[in-house]
Amino acid sequence: MNRRTCLLAIALGACVAMAQAEVLPEGLEVDLPEDRVVIYAATDQNIVQPLIDDFEQRHPGVKVEYHDMHSNLLYQRVIDEARRGSKADVVWSSAMDLQVKLVNDGYAQPYRSPETAALPSWAVWKNEAFGTTYEPAVFVYHKPALRRDELPLTHAALIELLKRNPERFRRRLATYDPALSGVGLMLHTQDAQSNPIVFWNLAQALGDQGLRVHATSREMLDGIASGATLIGYNVLGSYALTRARSDSRIGVIWPQDYTLVLSRVAFITRDARHPNAARLWLDHLLSRHGQQILARNAGLFAVREDLSADTASSLRSRLGAAFRPILIGSGLLTYLDQAKRRDFLRQWDAAVKPR
């Protein structure tokens, strides 16, 4: 094959790949090779480092440039950078509502592959947003401080425990700050919709004890490990379970009345500078192999059903009637309306204000 034929073959291959991804090429000029993929994520890098290492080993010419940031900052940064040329190729976050809004507002590009086709239908929205994990929201507690027979196994039991021992838990309770944490706002608003009477009663009980609010899971877990915080509410189970494996001071409770379960959502940006590398990463993340790495090393339940590792099916079996998944779709946009968000935060502040 001569040089001209070889170049045409490469260009044609790139066009085919772009067509399969539903992106129409403007010409035969292709940015090859793509030596990196830039990922903006609201996922601690140490949690997903095994997945990054495996990707770079399988694709030695492509370097993962990983940027870990708070979900609200990630959301705003994607919007700001889109005006002057996107820097991120892939956006990955547990703040499902913010991810859906970015996709809904045109910041993503569609993609189809055998790996996206292998996902359950609920995990794919508009062929642009893809659920990659299943993660329960749990109660986390400081093990040395609570006896086994007094552990609150339901939301109602947690309310009863706090009212029975008010001084014991004074200023030693924590949850996400919905004004600062995107995943916190999403979890609290979904909780309020799922069981409004119990949620607002619990919010008031937490507030009566002087609730501490945090922007990140790490802050909460550090406080629980040290004993400064005795109970954390609506904490992401993936982080809590991973931390509990190496820290015997941390205990995790799966609420038996209902457990909210979220999915970490990923998409390829509309103007990705490294679109082919982004597709490689997304396929790796969604592949059987990638999902097994997440399930075994990151405390995450795989979204694919065709695995022997922890999956959505095994999580459903474990939780039974308590299983309460948060679905990917336009319904998540409700509390991103400025008026509804403002009203929720006002009601939250009123509920948790110490009396």
pLDDT in tens, 273-305: 999 999 999 999 999 999 999 888 766 888 888
Residue 271 in 3-state DSSP?
Answer: coil
Choosing among 3.40.50.620, 3.40.190.10, 3.40.50.1100, 3.20.20.80, the CATH entry for 135-262+332-352 is 3.40.190.10
Listed range (64-68, 266-270, 298-302, 335-339) with the worst mean pLDDT: 298-302
CA distance 86 to 66: 15
- Report pTM: 0.84
Residue 185 tokens read as 């706002």
According to CATH, where is 3.40.190.10 located in the chain? Answer: 31-132+263-310, 135-262+332-352
CA distance 107 to 271: 8
Return the CATH number of the domain spanning residue range 31-132+263-310. 3.40.190.10
Chain-centre distance for alpha carbon 194:
19
For residues 263 and 125, the answer to whether their CB atoms sit within 8 Å is no
pLDDT band at 318 (very low <50, low <70, confident <90, very high): confident
State the Cα angle at 182 between 214 and 213, rounded to 5°: 15
Across the chain, mean pLDDT equals 88
pLDDT band at 33 (very low <50, low <70, confident <90, very high): low
Can you tell me the mean pLDDT for 325-350? 95
How many other C-beta atoms can be found within 10 angstroms of the C-beta atom of residue 200?
Answer: 16
Taking 50 as the threshold, does the pLDDT of residue 107 lie above it? yes
